[in-house]
Structure 1
Amino acid sequence: MPNKPAFTLALICLAIFLGALDLTVVSAVLPRVMLDMRVSIDTDLNRAAWVVSGYLLAYTVSMTFMGRLSDLLGRQRVYLICLGIFLVGSALAAAATSLEMLILARVVQAFGAGAMVPISMALAGDLFPPARRALALGVIGAVDTAGWMVGHLYGGVLMRAFDSWRLLFWLNLPIGLVALALTWWGLRGVAQRRDQGGFDWLGALLISASLIAFNIGLAAGGELGATDFYGQRSGPPPYALPLVLLALLLLAAFVWVERRSAHPLIDLHLFQQRSSALACVVNVLVGFTLALAITNVPLFINTRLALQFPTDPDILRRAAWEAGWMLSALTLTMAVAAIPGGALAGRFGPRPPALLGLVLALLGTLLMSRWHTDSTYLTMGLELALTGTGLGLLISPVAEAVMQAATSTQRGSASALVIALRLVGMTAGVASLTLYGVPRQDALRRAGVDNPLVTSDPARFLMDVAAQVVGETFLLGAAALGLALLAAWWMRSSPRVDTSP
């Protein structure tokens, strides 16, 4: 059969979409998972958060070095192996009998799923001529983004229909096996290309250790609420700050090693151009804010419904449904706005649409910080849509600014860097909810012991506390977007002129 690059790309994207879907699929069903696993939302939220943050971390770590490994061993082979790893993780997650087993299964899933993204970008370079390569890379990035954007809605719909979070993982198996067979078939005619260079094992070890230490150090703040309902600790555990400092030290060592490596994992020249470096900063900060929204909305809706209808046995199912649809106001507007964002970046350069997007996202996040117990879904949806429009306008300009600094042989690694940095920001955002949110909630509960609502309407009191914490974490997101706005202001505004082959 003659090679049909567009058809092969579609097959590759099916597996990428499936892996990205699982990045956020549990956000809408996490409360039900915690209930089934007998995990308290008041005292064990820090452990349950690893169902999300563990996937984010492993997804990002695998992305940093598996692309290079596929250059050495053969991209098709490594891609199919990674898809198989994802399916094994899905089966383990569906059969998990404890929270720890579920977290481990999610890590296995993510290691396979994250690796498929940069490998697929390298495959696109093999499949398409230079004139069509950038478009193919853009399609892969869009599919990856679309997957994690609709994951929460997919989870909410399935929970509403079948009331089973395990089904989310079981369904991966038949879909994934079909994708595995079709992708193997589609890649048969693609020539195997192998680099004769070496692999930077030290660099891979350093960047992986840095990401792991950073995430665990930030997530340690959740243990503030691990003692009882109100918490009894005056500060983070003693290992939190040292781990964060160790992460920064390991990152510095990684940079030192990469500058001297004959075969670096990441070409540091991408950071020597001002627009590219600032776009990377913007991407991390945007990921941080996005994670807050994706996690805060289901928590807000679940808490409110659980307190309003404490005896309703179907309340978690209803909450998953409503949270999924409410978050679609954010994510679907992101997807729609990404199209004009790309058109504007192509015409005016990355800076103008990036500035416009950040202003809209900042305004929307500030409005969301004012949510309260009686906020309506209409108000919440409009504010989420405003934020999503702003964030969507940013997707293409940020990627374009990084791609401008890349040569024709660096486009795959540059695209992977864009996605990886956004996920680093999302990992930090999820971790910040336990680092800040849990102790703040405990402090407000203790401070409100004399509040008349404690005795007259305890559910209202607890919801007021939850709403205040959600609002304050959205202010953290607004602060991150403010910094991103300053970074975008210093980006160069000239449109791209690509003369590379």
Structure 2
Amino acid sequence: MSEPDPRRWKALAVSLAAGFMTLLDVSIVNVALPSVQNGLGASAGSVQWIVSGYALTFGLSLVAGGRLGDVLGRRTMFLVALTAFVVTSALAGAAPNETLLIGARLLQGLAAGLLSPQNSGLIQDLFRGAERGRAFGLLGATIGISTATGPVLGGLILAVFGDETGWRWVFFVNVPVGVLAFVLALRWLPRSDRGKVQLRDEIDHVGALLLGLAVLGVLLPIVETESGGAGPLWLLAVATPVFGYVFVRWEQRVSARGGKPLLDLRLFTDVSGYSSGLLLGSVYFCGFAGIFLVMSLFLQKGLHYTPLQSGLTVTPFAVGSSIMAAVAGRLVSRLGRKLTVGGLSLITIGLAAVAVVVRLAPQDVIGGAIAFPLLVAGIGGGAVISPNTTLTLECVPNRIAGVAGGALQTGQRMGTAIGTAVLATVFYAGIGNPTAAVSRTLLCAIGFMLVAIVIALYELRRATTADRADARPAAGD
């Protein structure tokens, strides 16, 4: 076995900084939407597309980004995608009208989707054994921090630059960070000996189109619903199983001919734990991602908090999640799926406590009263994301690590879209009584967590049975 790259931790730091930016831009824009409306006179539908369009193209390009990283090399793909992300961030910040802002956000999401799978791919390439668990722990901490601190950072930026132009700096802040990350990536990211490749021969274009249509069929109706109504676009959702079936059959055909499929379906049949890990992550994100939107709506509409106050109120979740994610990365090699089951149980308990507190506590003390339950939920969340990523990808061959990570993140993005739409719908249905509405919505999120617990328990039992089977021959020697 070759010696580990001495620059691997520096390379990871650069990779996580870029990943932080792409994930931060999912949530940080939410608090800037009123500023966008004031600054550009944008309509409510256009404003929703500024948020949802980014999530849409992000989700569409993840698997392709992973495959391109596998083919061209992580370093090359990282630098290209990072450059595109910085340029499109600058275009978004400088946009003179809502149409160009939406276009810039769509391109920014595309760049983010191409960039994001390189994070998990680099970890697969550069780390082994317990170090890989710690690296994925830091990735999990990055996911938790970026998701939860977006509203806080957005509120701070608006407070500094003002309501009229503050939204522009939400995008401009990516430029200096991205430029610095690019310079450091040139120094620290390892080169790969891939030689010259013909993308026409390496990329399954038909498979990419079919998978894109399947993902689009799920995400686009949800995006349009959030923007004011999907109408006929729900027919796409009905057609999604057809696109998915044709995609699977096409990939099987490509493999049978000795070609190179976009998504090697052996990931789901031959790689231990991958299928259940992907499903678990998708279901978890259904309940996890929408929590922050609903809490923001409740705190600002129900309790009349400022965006900054709202962001600070949910900070205990971010703190608990970031600390526990780093710790969980060190424990996952010893505890395995037990860690995931424990984390899901903790987040369920924490959210249940928040649901009870908001119903019983006086309104003027709710913000402080939910701090500890949110901390408990955050600790639980930190014990889910990074261990699940580690356990899902631990048996994946390095040659397809990028596409495996891209598929895993696609499931997370689809879970985010579905969960956010479901939780927002439940909340708005009872908006006349915000405390009752947020309590019911949190119970809905708990329902997703309970489904995830069932999946985690199934995988824990499967892994335990496999370990016992492996131990029997050794016991007889």
TM-score class normalised by the smaller sequence: 0.7 to 0.9
Shift of 1:38: 4.2
Which residue does the alignment assign to 2:209? 205
Aligned equivalents of 1:365, 1:125: Cα separation in 2: 33
Aligned match of 1:20 = 23
Percent identity over the alignment is 26
Is 2:137–2:327's contact at 8 Å kept on the other side of the alignment?
Answer: no
Q: Which amino acid aligns with 1:208?
A: G
1:184 maps to which residue?
Answer: 186
1:203 Cα shift? 1.6
Please identify which structure carries the higher helix content.
2
The correspondence for 2:366, drawn from 367, 376, 380, is 376
Deviation of residue 245 (structure 1)?
1.2
Give the structure 1 partner of residue 177 of structure 2. Answer: 175
Q: Which residue of 2 aligns with 1:161?
A: 160
Match of 2:449 in 1: 481
Q: Deviations over 1:368-418 (max 9, x none)?
A: 344358261122222322222222111233123312442344444433433
Aligned-pair CA distance for 1:136? 4.8
Distance in 1 between the 2:262 and 2:379 partners? 34
User: Counterpart of 1:49 in 2: which secondary structure?
Assistant: helix
> Which segment is superposed worse, 158-167 or 120-129?
120-129
Is the partner of 1:165 in helix, strand or coil?
helix
Question: Do 2:56 and 2:219's aligned partners in 1 also have CA atoms closer than 8 Å?
Answer: yes
> 1:381 and 1:429, CA in 2 relative to 1: closer, same or farther beyond 3 A?
same
Tell me what 1:68 maps to.
67
Superposed CA RMSD? 3.2
Task: Give the partner amino acid of 2:284.
Answer: V
- 1:433–1:473 Cα contact (<8 Å) kept: yes
Q: Which residue of structure 2 lines up, in the alignment, with residue 80 of structure 1?
A: 79
2:12 to 6, 9, 13: 9
Q: Which residue of 1 aligns with 2:328?
A: 341
Output one character per residue of 1:47-87: Cα deviation in whole Å (capped at 9) or x when no partner.
Answer: 53333332222222222112222344454333222112111
- The aligned residue for residue 474 of structure 2 is none
Query: Taking structure 1 as reference, are residues 19 and 396 closer, same or farther at Cα in structure 2, changes over 3 Å only?
Result: closer
- Change over 3 Å in CA distance of 1:95–1:397 after alignment to 2: same
Name the residue aligned to 1:193. 194
CA contact (8 A) 1:270 1:402 kept: no
1:215 aligns to 2:202 (yes or no): no
d(CA) in 2 for partners of 1:182, 1:237: 43
- Count of aligned positions: 447
**What letter is aligned with 1:245?**
V
Tell me: CA distance 1:429–1:48, structure 2 relative to 1, closer, same or farther (3 Å).
farther
Q: 1:218 to 1:248 in 2, by over 3 A?
A: farther
Equivalences for 1:23-422 in 2 at 5 Å? Answer: 23-38=26-41, 44=44, 47-124=46-123, 136=135, 139-140=138-139, 142-163=141-162, 164-187=166-189, 190-194=191-195, 198-222=202-226, 238-261=231-254, 262-272=259-269, 275-306=273-304, 319-350=306-337, 352-370=338-356, 371-372=358-359, 374=363, 376-422=366-412
Asked whether the equivalents of residues 137 and 387 of structure 2 are also in contact (C-alpha less than 8 Å), the reply is no
Residues in 2 aligned to 1:390 and 1:134: alpha-carbon distance in whole angstroms: 17
The secondary structure found in structure 1 opposite 2:194 is: coil
Deviation of the 1:8 alpha carbon: 3.4
Offset of 1:322 from its aligned partner? 0.8
Which AA in structure 1 matches 2:313? M
Per-residue CA deviations over 1:136-193 (Å, capped at 9, x if unaligned) read 5654555455433432222222223333122121122222222223323444x72442
Q: Does 1:467 align with 2:457?
A: no
Counterpart of 2:82, as a letter, is L
Q: Does the C-alpha gap of structure 1 residues 142 and 64 become closer, same or farther in structure 2, counting only changes over 3 Å?
A: farther
CA distance in 2, matches of 1:96, 1:147: 24
Between the aligned partners of 1:252 and 1:166, the Cα distance in structure 2 is 42
Give the equivalent residue in structure 2 for 1:313.
none
CA contact (8 A) 2:92 2:104 kept: yes
* Cα displacement (A) at 1:295: 0.9
- Mapped partners of 2:335, 2:52: distance in 1: 36
Question: Where does 1:423-442 land on structure 2 (aligned, <5 Å)?
Answer: 423-433=413-423, 435-438=425-428, 440=429
Q: TM-score, normalised by structure 2?
A: 0.82
Distance 1:390 1:284 in 2: 16
